[in-house]
Amino acid sequence: MTLVMGVLNVTPDSFSDGGRWASTDAAIAHGLELAAQGADIVDVGGESTRPGATRVAPAEERSRVIPVITELARNGVRISVDTLNADTAAAAIDAGAEIINDVSGGLADPLMAAVAARSERTYIAMHWRGHAQEMGSRAVYDNVVTEVHSELAQRVDVLTKAGVKRSNLVIDPGLGFAKLAEHDWTLLAHLSHFDDLELPVMVGASRKRFVAAVLPAQASVLARDLPTAVISVLATQAGAWAVRVHDVSATRTAFNVLERVAAAGNVCGPVAWSTMES
Protein backbone atom coordinates (compact mmCIF):
# COMPACT_ATOMS: atom_id res chain seq x y z
CA MET A 1 0.00 0.00 0.00
CA THR A 2 1.08 3.55 -0.70
CA LEU A 3 2.90 5.28 2.15
CA VAL A 4 1.36 8.27 3.90
CA MET A 5 3.70 11.23 4.37
CA GLY A 6 2.42 13.77 6.88
CA VAL A 7 3.26 17.43 6.30
CA LEU A 8 4.88 19.37 9.14
CA ASN A 9 5.50 23.01 8.24
CA VAL A 10 7.76 24.68 10.80
CA THR A 11 7.14 28.06 9.21
CA PRO A 12 5.22 31.22 10.06
CA ASP A 13 3.87 31.69 6.51
CA SER A 14 2.47 28.37 5.34
CA PHE A 15 -0.64 28.75 3.18
CA SER A 16 -2.22 25.61 4.62
CA ASP A 17 -1.92 25.91 8.39
CA GLY A 18 -1.14 29.56 9.09
CA GLY A 19 2.05 28.94 11.05
CA ARG A 20 0.34 26.83 13.72
CA TRP A 21 3.44 24.69 14.14
CA ALA A 22 6.07 27.43 13.86
CA SER A 23 7.40 26.95 17.40
CA THR A 24 9.66 24.01 18.15
CA ASP A 25 7.45 22.57 20.89
CA ALA A 26 4.29 22.85 18.79
CA ALA A 27 6.02 21.29 15.80
CA ILE A 28 7.30 18.33 17.81
CA ALA A 29 3.88 17.74 19.32
CA HIS A 30 2.22 17.87 15.91
CA GLY A 31 4.83 15.56 14.39
CA LEU A 32 4.15 12.99 17.09
CA GLU A 33 0.43 13.43 16.50
CA LEU A 34 0.84 12.82 12.75
CA ALA A 35 2.76 9.62 13.48
CA ALA A 36 0.06 8.50 15.93
CA GLN A 37 -2.59 9.16 13.26
CA GLY A 38 -0.83 6.78 10.91
CA ALA A 39 1.80 8.76 9.03
CA ASP A 40 4.52 6.42 7.79
CA ILE A 41 6.81 9.44 7.29
CA VAL A 42 6.72 12.98 8.70
CA ASP A 43 8.01 15.58 6.25
CA VAL A 44 9.58 18.49 8.14
CA GLY A 45 10.07 21.76 6.28
CA GLY A 46 11.34 25.14 7.41
CA GLU A 47 10.77 27.21 4.27
CA SER A 48 7.44 27.81 2.57
CA THR A 49 7.38 27.05 -1.14
CA ARG A 50 3.88 28.40 -1.76
CA PRO A 51 3.52 30.70 -4.79
CA GLY A 52 5.05 34.08 -4.01
CA ALA A 53 6.78 32.97 -0.81
CA THR A 54 9.92 34.80 0.31
CA ARG A 55 13.13 32.76 0.54
CA VAL A 56 14.50 31.92 3.99
CA ALA A 57 18.21 32.00 4.85
CA PRO A 58 19.54 28.43 5.19
CA ALA A 59 20.77 29.13 8.73
CA GLU A 60 17.26 30.21 9.76
CA GLU A 61 15.79 27.17 8.05
CA ARG A 62 18.11 24.88 9.99
CA SER A 63 17.30 26.60 13.28
CA ARG A 64 13.64 25.79 12.65
CA VAL A 65 13.87 22.16 11.56
CA ILE A 66 16.90 20.53 13.17
CA PRO A 67 15.60 20.56 16.79
CA VAL A 68 12.29 19.15 15.55
CA ILE A 69 13.91 16.42 13.47
CA THR A 70 16.23 15.49 16.33
CA GLU A 71 13.39 15.02 18.80
CA LEU A 72 11.04 13.24 16.42
CA ALA A 73 13.78 10.85 15.31
CA ARG A 74 14.62 10.19 18.97
CA ASN A 75 10.99 9.10 19.37
CA GLY A 76 11.23 6.66 16.49
CA VAL A 77 9.43 8.74 13.86
CA ARG A 78 10.62 8.24 10.30
CA ILE A 79 11.57 11.69 9.02
CA SER A 80 12.02 13.36 5.65
CA VAL A 81 13.36 16.88 5.35
CA ASP A 82 11.68 19.21 2.90
CA THR A 83 14.48 21.50 1.74
CA LEU A 84 16.13 23.08 -1.28
CA ASN A 85 19.43 23.59 0.54
CA ALA A 86 22.26 21.07 0.62
CA ASP A 87 23.58 22.25 4.00
CA THR A 88 20.14 21.84 5.56
CA ALA A 89 19.77 18.40 4.03
CA ALA A 90 23.15 17.31 5.39
CA ALA A 91 22.35 18.64 8.87
CA ALA A 92 18.96 16.94 8.80
CA ILE A 93 20.53 13.60 7.89
CA ASP A 94 22.94 13.99 10.81
CA ALA A 95 19.95 14.75 13.05
CA GLY A 96 18.16 11.55 12.03
CA ALA A 97 16.25 12.25 8.80
CA GLU A 98 16.04 9.26 6.45
CA ILE A 99 14.75 11.04 3.34
CA ILE A 100 15.61 14.25 1.48
CA ASN A 101 12.55 15.78 -0.18
CA ASP A 102 13.87 18.40 -2.60
CA VAL A 103 11.17 20.25 -4.53
CA SER A 104 13.80 21.52 -6.95
CA GLY A 105 15.18 18.10 -7.83
CA GLY A 106 18.69 19.40 -7.21
CA LEU A 107 18.36 22.49 -9.39
CA ALA A 108 18.21 25.07 -6.59
CA ASP A 109 21.51 24.08 -4.96
CA PRO A 110 24.30 22.56 -7.08
CA LEU A 111 25.70 20.84 -3.98
CA MET A 112 22.53 18.88 -3.25
CA ALA A 113 23.34 15.95 -5.53
CA ALA A 114 26.63 15.39 -3.72
CA VAL A 115 24.88 15.41 -0.34
CA ALA A 116 22.26 12.96 -1.58
CA ALA A 117 24.92 10.68 -3.05
CA ARG A 118 27.11 10.77 0.05
CA SER A 119 24.23 10.18 2.46
CA GLU A 120 22.84 7.22 0.48
CA ARG A 121 19.40 8.16 1.75
CA THR A 122 16.17 8.20 -0.25
CA TYR A 123 16.10 11.33 -2.40
CA ILE A 124 12.81 12.69 -3.76
CA ALA A 125 13.35 14.77 -6.91
CA MET A 126 10.36 16.91 -7.83
CA HIS A 127 9.67 18.53 -11.19
CA TRP A 128 10.59 22.20 -10.79
CA ARG A 129 11.01 25.22 -13.03
CA GLY A 130 11.86 27.98 -10.58
CA HIS A 131 11.45 29.49 -7.13
CA ALA A 132 8.12 30.56 -5.68
CA GLN A 133 8.40 34.13 -6.94
CA GLU A 134 8.82 33.08 -10.57
CA MET A 135 7.20 29.69 -11.07
CA GLY A 136 3.81 31.12 -12.07
CA SER A 137 5.25 32.61 -15.24
CA ARG A 138 6.79 29.27 -16.17
CA ALA A 139 3.55 27.28 -16.22
CA VAL A 140 3.63 27.05 -20.01
CA TYR A 141 3.40 23.66 -21.73
CA ASP A 142 2.48 22.26 -25.11
CA ASN A 143 1.96 18.85 -23.50
CA VAL A 144 2.37 18.91 -19.74
CA VAL A 145 2.66 15.13 -19.33
CA THR A 146 5.39 14.57 -21.88
CA GLU A 147 7.31 17.69 -20.86
CA VAL A 148 7.24 16.91 -17.13
CA HIS A 149 8.26 13.33 -17.95
CA SER A 150 11.16 14.53 -20.11
CA GLU A 151 12.38 17.08 -17.57
CA LEU A 152 12.23 14.56 -14.73
CA ALA A 153 14.10 12.01 -16.85
CA GLN A 154 16.81 14.62 -17.43
CA ARG A 155 17.08 15.26 -13.69
CA VAL A 156 17.35 11.56 -12.98
CA ASP A 157 20.17 11.30 -15.51
CA VAL A 158 22.04 14.24 -13.94
CA LEU A 159 21.55 12.92 -10.40
CA THR A 160 22.69 9.39 -11.17
CA LYS A 161 25.76 10.71 -12.99
CA ALA A 162 26.50 12.73 -9.84
CA GLY A 163 26.54 9.54 -7.80
CA VAL A 164 22.98 9.24 -6.51
CA LYS A 165 21.99 5.59 -6.64
CA ARG A 166 18.98 4.97 -8.82
CA SER A 167 17.66 2.65 -6.11
CA ASN A 168 17.49 5.67 -3.77
CA LEU A 169 15.54 7.91 -6.17
CA VAL A 170 11.85 8.85 -6.02
CA ILE A 171 10.24 11.23 -8.51
CA ASP A 172 7.42 13.72 -7.98
CA PRO A 173 5.54 15.39 -10.86
CA GLY A 174 5.31 18.60 -8.83
CA LEU A 175 1.61 19.35 -8.71
CA GLY A 176 1.06 23.07 -8.20
CA PHE A 177 4.65 24.03 -9.00
CA ALA A 178 4.82 25.94 -12.28
CA LYS A 179 1.49 24.32 -13.13
CA LEU A 180 -1.98 25.67 -13.80
CA ALA A 181 -4.97 23.76 -12.48
CA GLU A 182 -5.57 22.02 -15.79
CA HIS A 183 -1.96 20.85 -15.78
CA ASP A 184 -2.36 19.33 -12.31
CA TRP A 185 -5.52 17.42 -13.21
CA THR A 186 -3.94 16.17 -16.42
CA LEU A 187 -0.87 14.90 -14.59
CA LEU A 188 -3.04 13.08 -12.07
CA ALA A 189 -4.96 11.44 -14.89
CA HIS A 190 -1.75 10.25 -16.52
CA LEU A 191 0.45 9.07 -13.63
CA SER A 192 0.96 5.79 -15.47
CA HIS A 193 2.90 7.74 -18.13
CA PHE A 194 5.79 7.86 -15.65
CA ASP A 195 5.94 4.08 -15.22
CA ASP A 196 8.59 3.67 -17.89
CA LEU A 197 11.07 5.59 -15.73
CA GLU A 198 10.87 2.61 -13.37
CA LEU A 199 11.09 4.78 -10.27
CA PRO A 200 8.77 5.22 -7.29
CA VAL A 201 6.42 8.20 -7.62
CA MET A 202 5.26 10.54 -4.87
CA VAL A 203 2.09 12.60 -5.28
CA GLY A 204 1.65 15.84 -3.36
CA ALA A 205 -1.80 17.30 -4.00
CA SER A 206 -2.79 18.16 -0.44
CA ARG A 207 -4.71 21.43 -0.04
CA LYS A 208 -3.26 22.89 -3.24
CA ARG A 209 -5.17 25.52 -5.17
CA PHE A 210 -6.30 23.27 -8.01
CA VAL A 211 -8.20 21.07 -5.52
CA ALA A 212 -10.50 24.01 -4.77
CA ALA A 213 -12.09 23.56 -8.19
CA VAL A 214 -14.33 20.79 -6.83
CA LEU A 215 -15.48 22.85 -3.83
CA PRO A 216 -17.88 25.76 -3.32
CA ALA A 217 -16.29 29.12 -4.08
CA GLN A 218 -15.98 30.22 -0.45
CA ALA A 219 -14.77 26.90 0.95
CA SER A 220 -11.88 27.04 3.42
CA VAL A 221 -8.46 25.57 2.81
CA LEU A 222 -9.30 22.81 5.29
CA ALA A 223 -12.26 21.79 3.11
CA ARG A 224 -9.72 20.60 0.56
CA ASP A 225 -8.85 17.62 2.78
CA LEU A 226 -11.80 15.53 1.55
CA PRO A 227 -10.95 15.82 -2.17
CA THR A 228 -7.30 15.34 -1.24
CA ALA A 229 -8.18 11.99 0.34
CA VAL A 230 -9.98 10.99 -2.86
CA ILE A 231 -6.92 11.97 -4.89
CA SER A 232 -4.80 9.88 -2.52
CA VAL A 233 -6.95 6.84 -3.30
CA LEU A 234 -6.59 7.47 -7.03
CA ALA A 235 -2.83 7.85 -6.57
CA THR A 236 -2.49 4.56 -4.71
CA GLN A 237 -4.56 2.81 -7.37
CA ALA A 238 -2.09 4.21 -9.92
CA GLY A 239 0.77 2.67 -7.92
CA ALA A 240 2.15 5.74 -6.14
CA TRP A 241 4.93 5.10 -3.65
CA ALA A 242 3.65 7.80 -1.28
CA VAL A 243 1.17 10.64 -0.94
CA ARG A 244 2.13 13.81 0.90
CA VAL A 245 -0.82 15.09 2.94
CA HIS A 246 -1.75 17.46 5.74
CA ASP A 247 -4.73 15.45 7.04
CA VAL A 248 -3.22 12.06 7.79
CA SER A 249 -6.37 10.72 9.48
CA ALA A 250 -8.58 11.34 6.45
CA THR A 251 -6.07 9.72 4.09
CA ARG A 252 -5.54 6.73 6.36
CA THR A 253 -9.32 6.26 6.62
CA ALA A 254 -9.66 6.41 2.83
CA PHE A 255 -6.92 3.81 2.48
CA ASN A 256 -8.63 1.61 5.06
CA VAL A 257 -11.79 1.66 2.94
CA LEU A 258 -9.82 0.75 -0.17
CA GLU A 259 -8.12 -2.13 1.63
CA ARG A 260 -11.42 -3.50 2.96
CA VAL A 261 -13.02 -3.43 -0.50
CA ALA A 262 -9.94 -5.05 -2.04
CA ALA A 263 -9.87 -7.74 0.62
CA ALA A 264 -13.59 -8.46 0.29
CA GLY A 265 -13.37 -8.82 -3.46
CA ASN A 266 -9.91 -10.35 -3.52
CA VAL A 267 -8.91 -7.72 -6.10
CA CYS A 268 -6.07 -5.29 -6.57
CA GLY A 269 -6.62 -1.76 -7.84
CA PRO A 270 -9.93 -0.11 -8.80
CA VAL A 271 -13.15 -2.05 -8.21
CA ALA A 272 -15.66 -2.34 -11.04
CA TRP A 273 -18.59 -1.18 -8.93
CA SER A 274 -21.17 -1.91 -11.65
CA THR A 275 -20.39 -5.61 -11.39
CA MET A 276 -20.88 -5.79 -7.63
CA GLU A 277 -24.09 -7.27 -6.22
CA SER A 278 -26.55 -4.73 -4.83
Determine the residue type at 217: A
- Residues with catalytic function: 208, 244
Contact 46, 24 (CB under 8 A): no
Beta strands in the chain (DSSP E): 3-9, 41-45, 79-82, 99-102, 122-126, 169-172, 202-203, 242-245
Rounded Cα–Cα distance for residues 148 and 125 (Å):
12
Burial class (CB in 10 A: 0-12, 13-18, 19+), 142: exposed
Q: What phi, psi does 96 have (nearest 5°)?
A: 125, 0
Contact 28, 108 (CB under 8 A): no
Contact 250, 211 (CB under 8 A): no
Contact 113, 94 (CB under 8 A): no
Q: Which of 170, 174, 178 is nearest to 187 (CA)?
A: 174
Determine the residue type at 268: C
Rounded Cα–Cα distance for residues 142 and 148 (Å):
11
DSSP letter for 108, please: S
